[in-house]
A and B are shown apart, each in its own frame.
Chain A
Amino acid sequence: MNCELAHERIVLVAYGELPDEQVHELDRHLAACTDCSQEREQLLALKTLTTAYPINELDPNFVARSRMRLEEALDAIPPKRWYERVGQRILNNFASLQAAPAAAVLLLIVGGGAGTLGGYEYAAARSAHSAAGLAAVAKAEASAAESVQQSGPAEIANISSIEREPNSEIVHVTYNQVVPQHIQGSLDDPSIRQLLMLASENASSAGVRDDSVGLLAAECRAGHGCQGAGIRDALMQALRYDKSVAVRQKALEGLQPYVAEDMRVRDAVLEALLSDSDARIRTAAIALLEPVEGDTSVRQVLSTVANSDHNLHIRTVSRQVLSRAPEIQ
């Protein structure tokens, strides 16, 4: 440490402004340097000397007089009008906006970072989910079916193929999520049934609809747990709206066991009889209605068909059924 720096630090240490580590350094210099030591003595003497011009306690009268004069001056100032105060507030707010660009940039950076991280996490989660889905395909039937149940119909884009193993209850359904998936399971499996019902409504391929409706209809005819409304509804839906004759045909066959007991099924079959464009469907519908031909609504429809159906064969069959009806009743 040179003496010039020491002189400066002597002042700082005298006023308590020197960091501790520099105080020690200064002390070592002062121990070795007479001039600087003398300099410190002089400064301390000055500090002592200047106490001869102290800050005295204020005279209360002086304070009171000053305050009174100030209050008079303040009273003379007209109060600020409301618009002046509003203007002032706006100015203050505007001034505080000076920091806004920096804050905006900071927010942008933080937002961008959070967005990127969030996107990365989301993508990682999605890929993990897809991987889990693919793994489920490779696993046993139960876990595969569970995967479908978990994903739900909303995540299934479409059903691309359905195949039944010959002489078996096992059916293979290929459906698409984000990536095509494939599961296999028993026809009695709820998740398989769910996929089949979905296929009967949405599958873009007529072949898939045909397969799914055919399987569902077969299940119903076989009496395999077709008591719930779900599969029956799917078959009625197919009968009413499916464009493919083959699909409608299968749906009709599937509904056969329920014509007698379920009024909704009967109505659907009557509708088919009245309005289906294909004569085969209408003919099959007549055959289906035979057990309930005594029903008033059935007779009404049969009567209409007997009179107005453009197909001679259907008109004839209808008349034959109607002619048998009184005997039955």
Chain B
Amino acid sequence: MDGPDRAQERLQARAPEMELIREAQAGSRAAFDALVRQYEQQVLRLALHLTGSEHDAEDIYQEAFLKAFRYIGNFRFECSFYTWIYRIVTNLCLDQLRRKKTRREDQAVVVDQSGDEIDVLGSVSDGRSFSNPGKELDRKVLGERIQAALSKLTPRERMVFELKHYQGLRLRTIGEMLNTTEETAKNTLFRATKKLRTQLAGLR
């Protein structure tokens, strides 16, 4: 969650960060590299969790920072750099989710024992196996079921749920990142939880 310690850290980090941004705007590649190092872990983690694919996450990461490099001159300190870079990343992720969803509509779905539809490709592991497959088998299956349920959400619902549930961002921040209001983000989260509960009803 976004605890007070993290908020304090971010506040302290803001002053040198602003300096880095100004230098990057003036054309300093070193300053931009420092900004990349500051946010790359968060960007990759978000993209990987959302897409479930290292390849897609890497593409999103690359495209996001290239865009940031190209348009950093447009950054006018009206919001935090964190919100700005997340806005770029979430837009790219949404595009990726939409593309993926469109492709999946043509793909085969299977019905599991409980009668729920599971996307075969959506359920396939992305290669990040657990260290002890025997012990973690149930957990892995469960994880895949959840991933499948998440993929049933609309890209926007998926994004809001990801940012709230997994990344622990405030609804107001999520609204800012997605260029919408806090109220809309709240309603989207509500819809997402409702759908997930329906999807995962048989697992409880």
Instruction: List residues of chain A with CB under 8 Å of any chain B CB.
Output: 7-8, 11-12, 15-17, 42-43, 45-47, 49-50, 52-56, 58-59, 62-63, 65-67, 69-71, 73-74, 77, 79-80, 85, 88-89, 91-92, 95-96
B76 and A85: CB pair below 8 A? no
CB neighbours of B45 from chain A (8 A):
55, 58
* B189 with A58: CB separation less than 8 A: no
A54 to B143, CA, bound (A): 8
Chain B residue at smallest Cβ distance from A56: B128
The 10 closest A-B pairs by CB, nearest first: A88-B73, A53-B146, A52-B142, A53-B143, A66-B58, A52-B143, A66-B61, A55-B49, A11-B190, A70-B62
Cα A42 to Cα B31 with chains together (Å): 48
Max chain B C-beta neighbours (<10 A), residue from A53, A74, A79, A95 = A53
Asked whether, in the complex, the Cβ of B26 is within 8 Å of the Cβ of A85, the reply is: yes
Tell me which residues across on chain B come within 8 A of A12, comparing CB atoms. 186
Establish whether residues B65 and A63, one from each chain, have CB atoms under 8 Å apart when the complex forms. no
Residue in A closest to B172 when the chains form the complex, CB atoms = A17
- 16 sampled A-B residue pairs with Cβ under 8 A: A11-B189, A17-B186, A52-B143, A53-B147, A58-B48, A66-B58, A70-B36, A70-B61, A70-B62, A74-B32, A74-B65, A74-B66, A74-B69, A79-B29, A92-B73, A95-B76
With a CB–CB cut-off of 8 A, which chain A residues contact B197?
42-43, 46
Taking Cβ atoms with an 8 Å cutoff, the residues of B that contact A are 1, 25-27, 29, 32-33, 36, 40-41, 44-45, 48-49, 54, 57-58, 61-62, 65-66, 69-70, 73-74, 76, 128, 139, 142-143, 146-147, 150, 164-166, 170-171, 186, 189-190, 193, 196-197, 200, 203-204
Q: For residue A95, which residues in chain B have a CB less than 8 angstroms away from its CB?
A: 76
Contacts of A59 in B (CB 8 A): 128
Q: Which residues of B contact A46 (CB under 8 A)?
A: 193, 196-197, 200
CA separation between A261 and B36, bound complex, in Å? 96
Known contacts: A46-B193, A56-B128, A74-B69. The answer to whether A66 contacts B200 by CB under 8 A is no
Question: A11-B193, A80-B27 are known contacts. Are A58 and B44 too (CB-CB below 8 A)?
Answer: yes
State A46–B192 Cα separation when bound (angstroms): 11
Scoring A66, A92, A96 by chain B CB atoms within 10 A of each residue's CB, the highest score goes to A66
A63 to B170 alpha-carbon distance, docked (Å): 27
- In the assembled complex, the Cα of A85 lies from the Cα of B173 at a distance in Å of 31
A88 and chain B: residue at smallest CB distance:
B73
Chain A residues with CB below 8 A from B27, complex form: 79-80, 85
Q: Which residues of A contact B1 (CB under 8 A)?
A: 16
Q: How far is the CA of A42 from the CA of B186 in the complex (A)?
A: 19
Q: Check A85 against B73 for contact (C-beta < 8 Å).
A: yes
Distance, CA A67 to CA B33, complexed state (A):
10
Q: What residues of B have a CB within 8 angstroms of the CB of A88 in the complex? A: 25, 73-74
A45 to B189, CA, bound (A): 16
Contacts of A53 in B (CB 8 A): 142-143, 146-147, 150
